[in-house]
């Protein structure tokens, strides 16, 4: 009976030591993330990022149309919000690495709240959902991926 507890204790100890070692070893930063989760009102999309980049041969610039080589890409929501509401107006600048990024939409670097006539024309900037649909559906149609009214749930979770 005593031997049984010794074996169980040794096994638990080894598993615990393995867990600690596994947790302590830093994970290498992946150049291309395996998947990206896109939450939206049409149903969450689990985007197979690495498959699109490596297996399908998509270049980064095909989707990240604003990229600068050697720099991290901005999150899509930095420029394409779910909606242009007050939260976006007050918080979007936190997503940009420096003030030169402001000039992509603004005539000059804003120094405070903007007057209504000094704001960019948001009618010409697609929301995140519009941007993804245009980008994804256009590519799917060109390359034989799922597209069209009957294909929604091939990408969107129900």
Whether residue 68 lies inside any domain: the answer is yes
23 within a domain of the structure (yes/no): no
Report how many domains make up the chain.
1
Mean pLDDT of 33-39: 84
For residue 110, the tally of other CB atoms under 10 A from its CB is 14
The parent domain of residue 45 ranges over: 36-154
d(CA 44, CA 47): 9
pLDDT of residue 67 exceeding 70: no
pTM: 0.62
Q: Which residues make beta-bridge pairs with 45?
A: 38, 156
Assess if residue 107 is contained within a domain: yes
Q: What pLDDT does residue 68 have? A: 59
Note whether residue 2 is domain-resident: no
Q: Answer yes or no: is 27 within a domain.
A: no
CATH number, domain at 136? 3.90.10
């Amino acid at each position: 009976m005593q031997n049984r507890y010794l074996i169980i204790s040794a096994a638990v100890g080894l598993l615990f030591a393995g867990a600690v070692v596994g947790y302590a070893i830093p994970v290498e930063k992946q150049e291309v993330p395996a998947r990206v989760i896109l939450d939206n009102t049409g149903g969450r999309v689990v985007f197979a990022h690495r498959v699109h980049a490596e297996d399908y041969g998509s270049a980064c610039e095909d989707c990240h149309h604003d990229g600068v080589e050697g720099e991290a890409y901005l999150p899509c929501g930095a420029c394409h919000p779910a909606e242009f509401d007050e939260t976006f107006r007050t918080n979007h600048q936190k997503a940009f690495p420096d003030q030169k990024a402001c000039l992509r939409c603004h005539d000059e670097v804003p120094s405070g709240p903007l007057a209504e006539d000094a704001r960019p024309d948001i009618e010409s900037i697609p929301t995140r959902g519009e941007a993804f649909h245009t980008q994804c559906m256009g590519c799917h149609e060109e390359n034989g991926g799922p597209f069209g009214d009957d294909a929604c749930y091939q990408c969107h979770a129900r």
